[in-house]
Amino acid sequence: MARQPLLEPWLIAADHALRALTTRPQASRPNPGAPLQAELSPAERREAAALMRVNHAGEVAAQALYHGQALAARSRQTQALLLRSASEESDHLAWCEERLAELGARPSLLNPVWYAGSFAIGALAAVFGDRASLGFVAETERQVEGHLDSHLGRLPPADVRSRAILQAMREDEAQHAAHARQAGAARLPSLVRALMRRTARVMTGTAYWI
Instruction: Encode pLDDT of 68-123 as tens digits.
Output: 888 888 888 898 888 888 888 889 999 999 999 999 999 999 999 988 888 888 88
pLDDT digits (tens, 9 = 90+) for 145-179: 999 999 999 999 999 999 999 999 999 999 999 99
Query: How many Cβ atoms sit within 10 Å of the Cβ of residue 65?
Result: 28
| Res. 181: pLDDT tops 50 | yes
The residue among 50, 70, 51, 73 whose CA lies nearest residue 62 is 70
Enumerate residues 6+ apart whose C-beta is below 8 A from 206: 108, 110
d(C-alpha 64, C-alpha 121), whole Å = 9
Model confidence at 206, pLDDT cuts 50, 70, 90, reads: very high
Q: Select the more confidently predicted residue: 15 or 147.
A: 147
pTM, full prediction: 0.86
| CATH architecture of the domain covering 41-207 | Up-down Bundle (1.20)
pLDDT digits (tens, 9 = 90+) for 19-40: 666 667 788 899 999 889 888 9
Q: Work out the angle between the directed axes of helices 42-71 and 190-207 (0-180°, nearest 10).
A: 140
